Amino acid sequence: MPPNVVLAAPASATSSSLVTPALKKDEDQVFSWNEVYHYVSTNQIKSIHRNKQVQTVYNQWMKDTLNKYGSIENYLLSTKLHFKPIEDKNRPPVIILPNDFPYSVEEGIKHILLWSQIPLSQGYIEEILEANYGSKTYEWVYFVNPPEIQSVRKLPHVHVFMRQRMN
C-alpha cells in the first residue's frame, strides 16, 4: 500500500451493503459493468446515477447535514476524513471509503471514493488501486465529476467503480 493511504473500504465492502434499496426493473435503471465502463470511458458520466430511493435518501441527508454542519466538507472533515499533513504534493494522503450513497449498479460492482486534500494524478490513482485491490483480481474505471455536478467541491475525490475480474 502506498504511504499516506488509509483504506476504509476493504475489497469485501460493497456499495449495496451501505444502502440496500428494493429495486424493481421498471422503477430504476441498474447499470451493468459494460454500461458503467462505457459511460465513464466516453466521458458520459452524467448518464450514471443513483436509483430514485437512494437519491431521495441522499437528498434528505444533504439537507440535514447542511443544517447541522453548514457544509458537506465540514461534516466529512469532522467525522470521516482525518488527513495526515501533506508532505509530498505528488503523493498526498488519501482516504478510501465506500460511497454511502452509491450509484445504481449491478450487484458485484463496488463504488468507492478516493478522498484527498489536493487533486490526484492518474498515475497515483492507478498506484493506489493497484496496491489496495490489485489489477489481477479487480478491474476498475474511475472519474472525477465535473464541477457543475459536484456535491463536494472543496475536497477532491475520485469515483471508482470496480469488480472482480472474470476468470
Nearest to 45 by CA among 162, 148, 120: 148
Q: Can you tell me the distance from the alpha carbon of 93 to that of 117, in angstroms, rounded to the nearest whole number?
A: 8
Q: Can you tell me the distance from the alpha carbon of 20 to that of 72, in angstroms, rounded to the nearest whole number?
A: 23
Q: Is pLDDT at 10 greater than 70 in this prediction?
A: no
Q: Which three cell numbers stand for residue 70?
A: 453548514
Owner of C-alpha cell 451493468: 32
pTM of the model: 0.84
Q: Which three cell numbers stand for residue 148?
A: 457543475
Q: How confident is the model at residue 23 (pLDDT cuts 50, 70, 90)?
A: very low
Structural domain of residue 44, as residue ranges? 5-164
Burial of 128 (0-12, 13-18, 19+ CB in 10 A): buried
pLDDT at residue number 28:
82
pLDDT at residue number 75:
98
Q: Which amino acid is at 28?
A: D
Q: Which three cell numbers stand for residue 78?
A: 469532522
Q: Can you tell me the distance from the alpha carbon of 138 to that of 72, in angstroms, rounded to the nearest whole number?
A: 30
68-88 burial, b if ≥16 CB within 10 A, otherwise e?
eeeebeebbbeeebebeeeee
Span 109-118, pLDDT tens digits: 999 999 999 9
Q: Can you tell me the distance from the alpha carbon of 165 to that of 157, in angstroms, rounded to the nearest whole number?
A: 24
Q: Indicate the number of domains in the chain.
A: 1
Span 58-99, pLDDT tens digits: 999 999 999 999 999 999 999 999 999 999 999 999 999 999
